Amino acid sequence: MRSIIVSSIFALVLLMTGCSDKPVLPTELPAPVMSFIQQTYPGQTITFAQKDLELTGWKYEVFLADGSHVEFDTDDTWDKVESPMTQPVPAQLIPAPIATHLQANFPGAFVTKIDKERNGYEIELATGVELKYNKQGALIEMDD
């Protein structure tokens, strides 16, 4: 009996998360999401937005006219930012210790993706180099 209940709950969760992507109008985005977009990407137009139902709530994805893509967690804070290969992600999103490390070790390279991970950050440079940092901003892995 217990395994039937667990299986049923698992199937329901899969069904809910599998069909949950829904396009939304910019006016339907939560205030913190809109505030982040307006402050971080002033003058940019939202070309597409969607929300996705997770177990803990709604996650949002926003696509901008310049080709940038921003994902938000269920608490409406940014989780991942990707920019086109020709432009960097906004500098204010890169923690100071990581920015310092990048300037010292990868002069002239810029960040095209930053992803908040459970234990830190994953960064991708325009050169294709991928770097992982812990929450304190120390480099823990590099893949080129």
CATH 3.40.1420.30 domain locations along the chain: 1-13+20-82, 83-144
CB under 8 Å to 28, separation ≥6 — which residues? 49
> Which distant-in-sequence residues (6+ apart) come within 8 Å of 129 by Cβ?
106, 109, 142, 143, 144
* Percent of the chain residues past pLDDT 90, beyond the cut: 84
71-80 mean pLDDT? 97
Q: What is the model's pLDDT at position 2?
A: 57
Domain 83-144 has CATH 3.40.50.620: no
For residue 115, pLDDT beyond 50: yes
Instruction: Note the pLDDT of residue 20.
Output: 73
Please write the tens of the pLDDT for every residue from 5-45: 544 454 444 444 455 799 999 999 999 999 999 999 999 99
Q: Please tell me which residue, 26 or 3, carries the higher pLDDT value.
A: 26
The predicted structure's pLDDT at residue 58? 96
pTM: 0.84
Domain 1-13+20-82: which topology?
Answer: Inhibitor of vertebrate lysozyme, Ivy (3.40.1420)
